[in-house]
């Protein structure tokens, strides 16, 4: 019987959908045990992963029957795509299924950084009335600079425009301008950073984008601008960000992704003492709704690749 190995958490209804058609080996913490993963993948016809399973060339070499890799998400930097192509294994991301979740995360992070209302709770219940401390600022009339202008970035642009923001973007891989929502295409990343009040990252991690936003690029940003990264951690130089947050040049940041994940206590300690900072554990694209969509799309992609229509 056709066998599908799932190594990270997946929505229950999508699992049931799979189990009605194929044998499913669901071990949502298997990514933590590489030797066992190598053993189990030997007889798998398809593999389903999120971002913590390292699909390396040695793993693919052990997977003699593997025909497809379903990715519960869109980032593919944890999968050796070249090795998969050589082995004629299809790599199937759940394109678009988590776009709404990421876009709403970006908007909520931006609103909170501009007007951090929840931080006043303790002062209020303690009898204080810190009005001046929590006045904050508006996003209407401000410019959001989108680094990359794929589907998720366009979903962010749509929501930002509804708040009265100006939309600017930089994406060297687009062959034509996208004038929807009055979006302004920047000629370079440096030009975008110079005009943006909020910079949101929407590019994959590769050799070209590793530490794309470094100390020099932070220095080019407007004083008080904020940064949001929901893409991949290695794109932003975390030490440089911390430095510019502490000097006040950068007005705030939201990081959902980190160069080394999961973030341990030692690496987490470097962010201590910074008020205008949101840190979340790579969950921007994960909501109850998006998890269902991503899981269902992935299940359908894998079944289709295995010949189940």
Which sequence positions are flagged as catalytic?
232, 261, 282
- Residue 82's alpha-carbon distances to 89, 91, 235, in angstroms, are 10, 10, 21
Determine how β-strand 68-71 pairs with β-strand 198-201.
unpaired
Cα 277 from Cα 258, distance rounded (Å): 14
**What is the C-alpha to C-alpha distance for residues 198 and 85, in angstroms, rounded to an integer?**
38
CA-CA distances (angstroms) from residue 199 to 65, 110, 119, 139, 141?
A: 44, 10, 23, 13, 15
Beta partners for residue 199, in sequence order: 145, 227
Contacts of 239 (CB under 8 A, 6+ apart): 270
Residues 6+ apart with CB under 8 A from 235: 201, 203, 205, 209, 210, 211, 212, 213, 229
- List the beta bridge partners of residue 69: 47, 91
């Amino acid at each position: 019987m056709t066998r599908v190995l799932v190594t990270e958490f997946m929505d229950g209804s999508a699992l049931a959908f799979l189990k009605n058609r194929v044998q499913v080996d669901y071990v949502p913490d298997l990514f933590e045990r590489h030797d066992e993963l190598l053993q189990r993948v030997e007889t798998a016809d398809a593999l389903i992963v999120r971002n913590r399973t390292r699909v390396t060339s040695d793993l693919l070499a052990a997977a003699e029957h593997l025909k497809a890799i379903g990715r519960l998400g869109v980032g593919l930097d944890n999968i050796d795509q070249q090795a998969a192509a050589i082995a004629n294994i299809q790599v199937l991301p759940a394109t678009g299924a988590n776009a709404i979740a990421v876009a709403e995360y970006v908007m909520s992070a931006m609103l909170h950084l501009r007007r951090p209302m929840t931080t006043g709770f303790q002062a209020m219940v303690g009898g204080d009335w810190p009005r001046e401390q929590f006045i904050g600022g508006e996003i209407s009339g401000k410019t959001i600079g989108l680094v990359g202008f794929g589907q998720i970035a366009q979903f962010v642009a749509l929501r930002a425009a509804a708040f009265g923001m100006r939309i600017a973007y930089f994406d060297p891989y687009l062959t034509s301008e996208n004038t929807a929502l009055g979006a302004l295409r920047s000629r370079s990343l440096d030009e975008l950073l110079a005009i943006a009040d909020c910079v949101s990252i929407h590019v994959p991690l590769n050799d070209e984008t590793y530490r794309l936003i470094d100390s020099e690029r932070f220095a080019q940003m407007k004083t008080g601008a904020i940064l949001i990264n929901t893409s991949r951690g290695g794109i932003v130089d975390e030490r440089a960000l911390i430095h510019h947050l502490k000097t006040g040049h950068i007005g705030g940041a939201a990081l959902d992704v980190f160069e080394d994940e999961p973030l341990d206590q030692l690496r987490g300690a470097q962010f201590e003492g910074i008020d205008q900072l949101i840190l979340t554990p790579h969950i921007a694209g994960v909501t109850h709704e998006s998890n269902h969509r991503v899981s269902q799309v992935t299940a359908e992609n894998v079944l289709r690749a295995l010949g189940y229509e």
